[in-house]
Amino acid sequence: MNAQAYIELRDLSLKTQIGTYGIHDTKPKVHLLDITLGIDANQVLISSDAMVHIFDYDPLIAEIDRLAQDGHYETQERLMTRIACACVVYSEIKTIELCLRKAPVHNDSGSLGVRLLLNEASTNHLRNSALPKPHQN
């Protein structure tokens, strides 16, 4: 069977501080994270209703929340890097798609985001890279 499975989290509001803004700049009121994680279909098509058979995403969400509140970030990209590094800690995660967006952007409207797509090879490369682990700012 050729099946794909994904865990999708949308519009997670992060309590974070990103960027430096002047008095006349539009300061974002919200930072929203969308995340899609590719996992083995056997963790969705399960024979019995038990947590032992699935990917438990709650610890990852708690880590993302911790990272978001871990001081001031100059860029969205740095927070996204740390979130991606938190994802690769879990061997069950095969692919990663992240989108972090802020709103408003201008005249109290619009949103602006950065998207990162890591296929299985890129996810494994990050997993084995020398990038700092998520707990290292």
**pLDDT by residue (tens digit) across 74-110?**
999 999 999 999 999 999 999 999 999 999 999 989 9
Average pLDDT over every residue of 56-83: 97
Amino acid (one-letter) located at 66: R
Fold adopted by 5-127:
GTP Cyclohydrolase I, domain 2 (3.30.1130)
**Distances from the Cα of 131 to the Cα of 17, 72, 108, 118, 127, angstroms:** 22, 19, 36, 15, 9
